Amino acid sequence: MALNIKKHRIIMINILKDIVGSVYWKHLGFKWGTLLYLLYNLDRFSTDLDFDLLNKWSINEEKMLLDLAKICSKHGKVKDMYNKEKTLFLLVDYEPYEMKIKIEINKKRSIHSKYEYKSILWYQVLCMEAESLFANKLVALTQRKNIASRDLFDVHFFLKKWFEINENIIKERTGKSLKSYLKYVIDFITKNFTEKTLLAGLGELVDQKQKYFIKNLLVQETCEYLKLIISD
């Protein structure tokens, strides 16, 4: 499946713009890779739109899903949509044989995650704060059902930018102190990420120079950064 980054980015931003301009803008907290890419200059491309549902009890989820499908249908064909226990999901196909855009809304957010308005391409978007992003990404790294190299790449990005970590999220979601959990993360990384698997799901999102770094240095550098935090 091909990825035309320029086209994908434009359509994804247009969908985000329309969601932000809808009646649901106060109920959704923008997060993950595309937020990092647009706001913090994450040095990999991101193909999806991810949100937390902030006011679950004041929202009719089925109506929201249908309304979001109408928004997305202006930019492509909605190939799939569902409302499950933890997630609202839509899949948008804007052109045959091109990578599709996933829109995922998490209904089980951390009670300690914090959000703030940020300016993204001249729009005020309610976004997860950087400290909460980092903490939740650290947890996703080890708890995701299928291990994702992009999580490791993003954790490295947070570390080299020296972002703070929301420790309350770590305690809530793992039951561990920050130092104890980071020790576990180091062990998890060294056991689960290998040169053969590091580019899976990530290779098409980076350039050749980054591919070399990912295969040869990403694991080592990430673990060294984590050790520096633990040693403080």
Same domain, 112 and 141: no
Dist. CA 225–CA 232, nearest whole Å: 11
107-136 pLDDT tens trace:
999 999 999 999 998 889 999 999 999 999
Q: Which amino acid is at 100?
A: K
Percent of the chain residues topping a pLDDT of 90: 84
Which residues form the domain of 196? 129-232
| pLDDT at res. 232 | 67
Same domain, 179 and 117: no
| pLDDT at res. 201 | 87
The Cβ-side half-sphere exposure at 175, using a 13 Å CA radius, reads: 1
Dist. CA 201–CA 164, nearest whole Å: 27
Same domain, 18 and 121: yes
14-47 pLDDT tens trace:
999 999 999 999 999 999 999 999 999 999 999 9
The CA-based angle 81-96-65, given to 5 degrees, is: 15
**Which of 76, 102, 128 is the last residue in one of the domains?**
128
Place of tokens 């403080």: 232
Dist. CA 184–CA 181, nearest whole Å: 5
Same domain, 33 and 120: yes
Which residues make beta-bridge pairs with 92?
78, 101
Check pLDDT > 80 for residue 103. yes
**Which of 65, 94, 128 is the last residue in one of the domains?**
128
Same domain, 96 and 167: no
At 57, the pLDDT band (50, 70, 90 cuts) reads confident
Whichever domain contains 142, its CATH number is 1.20.58
Dist. CA 85–CA 106, nearest whole Å: 9
65-83 pLDDT tens trace:
999 999 999 999 999 999 9
Smallest CA-to-CA distance from 12 within 64, 47, 36, 41 is with 47
| pLDDT at res. 151 | 96
Check pLDDT > 80 for residue 101. yes
At 161, the pLDDT band (50, 70, 90 cuts) reads very high
Place of tokens 């951390």: 110
